[in-house]
Chain A
């Protein structure tokens, strides 16, 4: 390998990381303002939180064709391609950061707010002295999975093909893909190692930052800190879990702040009125934009195309059924891995200290970058064992490595957060491993499992979107499944049939949202109602 390629790879890694951090920073800064707006205005809050919930429950990668349609064809040029990539990364990192900030703002202790009122802090004062510092630990904790997610998606989105056109931007993902395509495997491996080193360093720094953030900005109150541990792991349907028991209670009972309205009531009222008006305006504008987009799209598609699209529904339903089966397999394997390995690590401090950082760094290492190489090394062996199912195994494996982390990490946090009294009781009553699992650990970590599992399920779709149709993955080998909704989208995009790709994306989006409302939310509600371990400890 020559030195210039090495330098180009380092530069490309920096450009890729630059894209990731630009979007993360943009998400954080915009999230503060949006969170502030949503706690000040209920209408805006309802629209904002519902939208986040919808967007985060829809796997972004499946929407790539729609994004391309706009950026590549409407804006065009290299700017359009660059923006398409940035937007894709943005959709991968933003929702959990925004949700975390919103939850943090929503759960700022009443006492701190009263002090800020007392000293008559204005908008900037409150934001910079109270809300932003309070949201830092939550953001810090969300940065690790967000960064991992962003790295995963950016390495595949730097190069993409629509019909006969291939679009690419300069970055390590592009370089590795090109090296693999031209058979320079050794150089490609070096590329993976370079980005691996960068991601490992950044992940370890983020861990330190997270620790520092909790030390510096965390509250001392036991309950609040514990609640924070719990909630920042819900990436889906986390709205009311954000409200700690205390906060929920405080909403029922009038607090001193509400009872003792000051002489500035009038001024305050005016202020609130302003927030209300602007909230309604912004909220309505958002809804109008979405409606406008939907209506113009529907009108612009000729009737014959609609007929064709609707005729694909039976086939689509079969494909989505098969994909749900794949997602189920990936989720069950991930859950089993999480439950046993997570428990082992949470109860063996020495192993935990070594293994957790390794898993975190590994999760941040973008699977799509090294997967073709892994494929090349293992294909002859795997195909001997699995025969006709070889491709299926690889698809499930890519799904697993790109997504197991969420449920694993969430569950591990849940086990760590179990009240110490529970551990003492389990020891005291000589419970066997299975008894511990059945009576204490699984129920006690149920909210964490649901939150982590829903993230795992969402990300599994992203993994499938990449793996179900990967033409020429390496050495002219095509990784391809027989049936799958993600494959239909991929093939349609590759053939330039953007209409079909968009239609299936929307169709899929609707199914995912229905699933989220009827399944994930129900489970989350059950978890909140019954399985909050901290509530089992009575502190008068």
Chain B
């Protein structure tokens, strides 16, 4: 904290859009990868990794290989791996975009409790998303990017109690606000006059 970031660090963990797990490692081993940099004793490593899988709701799946898990479960493994590294900030690049809507919905509901559980050191998560419902449901502060090249065109604070209900009029108001700052899509003409 308070230090300049010059290279990737486990303190800022990344969750990929295309869910990345290692097919030759079990769920538990995948999670342990996030702990390697800490050079802990084996038992300690094992204990933390199991705890992280429990946080993301995958107790009992420790010895499953990614191929034996659904897309949603694989993304949970990736989240557990990131959390195992004890990050302060989590970067999530459209983490639900490769999941079917039902799975994504389920995971979205749980994500907040999951990543900000008292058992993690996490202070903040930066989530990139095109899904405005998802944004209003999860975010405290929204930085709206628009134009080409993209720049921050708006910052919207979402002050709603959790859990947030999409049928709440307040929810719809925030959605409208987001739509407004995103439309029209601002495009610049390039040198040849093309969009």
Interface 9-mer from B22-30, B42-50, B170-178: B22-30
**B22 to A439, Cβ gap below 8 A?**
yes
A421 touches B37 (CB 8 A): no
Q: Cβ of A439 and Cβ of B36 under 8 Å apart?
A: yes
A424 within 8 A of B: yes
B165 → A minimal CB distance (Å): 27
**B10, A538: Cβ atoms closer than 8 Å:** no
In the complex, B126 has a CB within 8 A of chain A = no
A428 to B85, CA, bound (A): 9
Using a CB-CB cutoff of 8 Å, which residues 59-76 of chain B contact chain A? Answer: 65-67, 71, 74-75
Are A429 and B37 in contact, CB atoms less than 8 angstroms apart?
Answer: yes
Chain B proximity mask over A513-540: 1 for CB below 8 Å, otherwise 0: 0000000000000000011110111111
Chain A binder among B12-20, B145-153, B156-164: B12-20
Most buried by A among B67, B74, B99: B67
Q: Are A539 and B33 in contact (CB under 8 A)?
A: no
Q: Which A residues lie within 8 Å of B98 (CB)?
A: 538-540
CB distance from B99 to the nearest CB of A (A): 6
Contact B10 A429 (CB under 8 A): yes
Quick one: closest B residue to A222, CB to CB?
B18
Closest to B85 in A: A429
Taken residue by residue from 78 to 107, chain B's Cβ proximity to chain A (1 for < 8 Å, 0 otherwise) reads as 000000010000000000001110000000
Decide if A531 touches B33 in the complex (CB within 8 Å).
no
Tally B residues with Cβ within 8 Å of A. 30
Judge whether A443 is part of the interface by a CB distance below 8 angstroms: yes
Verify if A440 is at the interface (C-beta below 8 Å from B): yes
Interface residues on A, range: 20 to 34
Nearest CB on A from B192, distance (A): 24
Q: Which of chain B's residues have a CB closer than 8 A to the CB of A422?
A: 20, 22
Instruction: Tell which of A439, A446, A537 touches B18, judged by Cβ atoms closer than 8 Å.
Output: A537
A540 adjacent to B100 (CB under 8 Å): yes
The answer to whether B23 touches A440, judged by C-beta atoms less than 8 angstroms apart, is no
Which of B20, B33, B85 meets A421, CB within 8 Å? B20
| CB of A221, distance to nearest CB on chain B (Å) | 15
4 tightest A-B contacts by CB?
A: A421-B20, A538-B19, A430-B37, A427-B8
Residues of A within 8 A of B13 (CB): 428-429
A536 and B23 form a contact (CB under 8 A): yes
Q: How many angstroms from the CA of A284 to the CA of B12 in the assembled complex?
A: 64
Q: Is the CB of B8 within 8 A of A428?
A: yes
Nearest residue (CB) in B for A533 is B23
Contacts of A431 in B (CB 8 A): 33, 36-37
A-B contact list, 29 entries, CB within 8 Å:
A424-B8, A424-B14, A425-B14, A428-B8, A428-B13, A429-B36, A430-B8, A430-B9, A430-B10, A430-B37, A431-B36, A439-B36, A440-B22, A443-B22, A443-B24, A444-B24, A530-B23, A530-B65, A531-B23, A535-B23, A536-B20, A536-B22, A536-B23, A537-B18, A538-B18, A538-B20, A538-B71, A539-B18, A540-B98
Contacts of A424 in B (CB 8 A): 8, 14, 16
List of B residues within 8 angstroms of A435 by Cβ: 36
Contact across chains for B33 and A425 when beta carbons are under 8 A apart:
yes
Question: Which residues on the B side are within 8 Å of A439 (C-beta)?
Answer: 22, 25, 33, 36
Query: A419, B20: Cβ atoms under 8 Å?
Result: yes
What chain A residues lie within 8 Å of B33 (beta carbons)?
425, 429, 431, 439
State the CA gap A169–B10 with chains docked (Å): 65
Q: In the complex, what's the smallest C-beta–C-beta distance from B98 to chain A, in angstroms? A: 5
Q: In the bound complex, how far is the Cα of B67 from the Cα of A532, in angstroms?
A: 11
Residue numbers in A under 8 Å from B67 (CB-CB): 535
In Å, the complex CA distance between A33 and B86 comes to: 59
Additional 6 contacts, C-beta under 8 A, given A428-B10, A535-B23, A538-B18: A425-B33, A429-B37, A429-B85, A531-B24, A537-B18, A538-B19
Within 8 A of B (CB), among A462-482: none
Given contacts A429-B10, A439-B22, A440-B22, contact A536 B66 (CB under 8 A): yes
- Whose C-beta in chain A lies nearest to the C-beta of B7? A427
Give bound CA distance, A317 to B77, whole Å. Answer: 51
Whether the pair A537, B20 counts as a contact (CB closer than 8 A) is yes
CA distance A36 to B166 in the complex (A): 58
Complex Cα gap A422–B14 (Å): 11
Residue of A nearest to B21 (CB): A536
CB distance from B26 to the nearest CB of A (A): 11
A443 and B98 CA atoms in complex are apart in Å by 25
